[in-house]
A = this chain, B = another copy of it.
Amino acid sequence: METKSPIRCIVKLGGAAITCKNEFEKINEANLVTVSSQLREAMMFGSSSGSVLEMDWSKRPGVSETPKKVDDFKEQQQGLDYNSFVVIHGAGSFGHFQASKSGVHKGGLNQPLVKAGFVATRISVTSLNLEIVRALAREGIPSVAMSPFSCGWSTRDRNIASADVSTVVEALDSGFVPGCTILSGDVIISHLAAHLKPQFVVFLTDVFGVYDRPPTEPNAVLLREIAVREDGKWSVVNPTFQDSDTKVETSVASHDTTGGMETKISEAATIAKLGIDVYIVKAATEHSLTALSGKLRDKIPEDWLGTVIRYVP
């Protein structure tokens, strides 16, 4: 195993995709399981669902079992070769209550409420992070929770770096990612993308991609392809609107407060400008699997639903 292995993909599991956003600290188990197995498929070469080598050997609440998969490893001693992925996840319905209740993102750790909020937020996101790491491990993905700033480990051991938002809080606290917001992993991603130079980046979300207005609105249009230019400005190239730039950018900005799509696109644009394709796609669908497999780099199928943000010199 070489010390530096190229990173195939950085994937962001959106908080809305892996948790039940409107239920306090509730994981979307069905989505998490599907997402994890799609990640395995995308990472492992020729590994069928039949031969999953479980890496979570711990007790699970409600489940009474002693680990059975351990002995599988005895048989195959040569290292499984797989694409290196880095997984970042949002917090969804975890951490949000604790952070907003205490205003921890505003700083001031000397105030009891803020300090308590820092601790409470970390506990909440850490418990989410542990569940995600375990879900990945159960799919045979060597997932290891870590700070995005100790990536040396993840690249050397080709493990998954699953960075929960608490590391962002720590980072804020020690001045690593100035000005990033507490419950958004997106800023970490461009940071990691710049350092790790992945072949592509995938945002798994709870809608099909980026729309020209809130997707809940009638005749909201899915933006299939966004081109990022030399100067960092972006414009929609598919579908084609007349007078696109203004029309879209304003309408996007108009619902920025709700979904922060403007922010997401700008963030994605920064990554795309590095020559790294960014795919924003609905989690746990055939479309997310297509995106994670990297097939979109050659050609975007007609029937693929999602948003591609790509650098066009």
Contacts and interface: CB of A to CB of B under 8 A. Distances in A.
Interface of A: 1, 24-25, 53-59, 61, 66-67, 70, 73-74, 76-80, 94, 97-98, 101-102, 109-113, 115-116, 118-120, 122-124, 126-127, 130, 133-134, 137, 142-146, 152-153, 157, 159, 170, 173-174
Copies in the complex: 2
Contacts of A127: 58, 130
Contact of A59 (B25, B55, B122): B25
Contacts of A67: 97, 101, 120
Contacts of A57: 97-98, 101, 120, 123-124
B109 A1 contact: yes
A58 B130 contact: no
Contacts of A53: 112, 116
Closest A-B pairs by Cβ, 8 of them: A73-B113, A57-B120, A55-B119, A55-B116, A1-B110, A25-B59, A58-B124, A79-B110
Nearest to A69: B116
Given A56-B120, A57-B97, A134-B123, A111 B77 contact: yes
B145 A173 contact: no
5 contacts: A58-B120, A70-B101, A115-B142, A119-B137, A123-B137
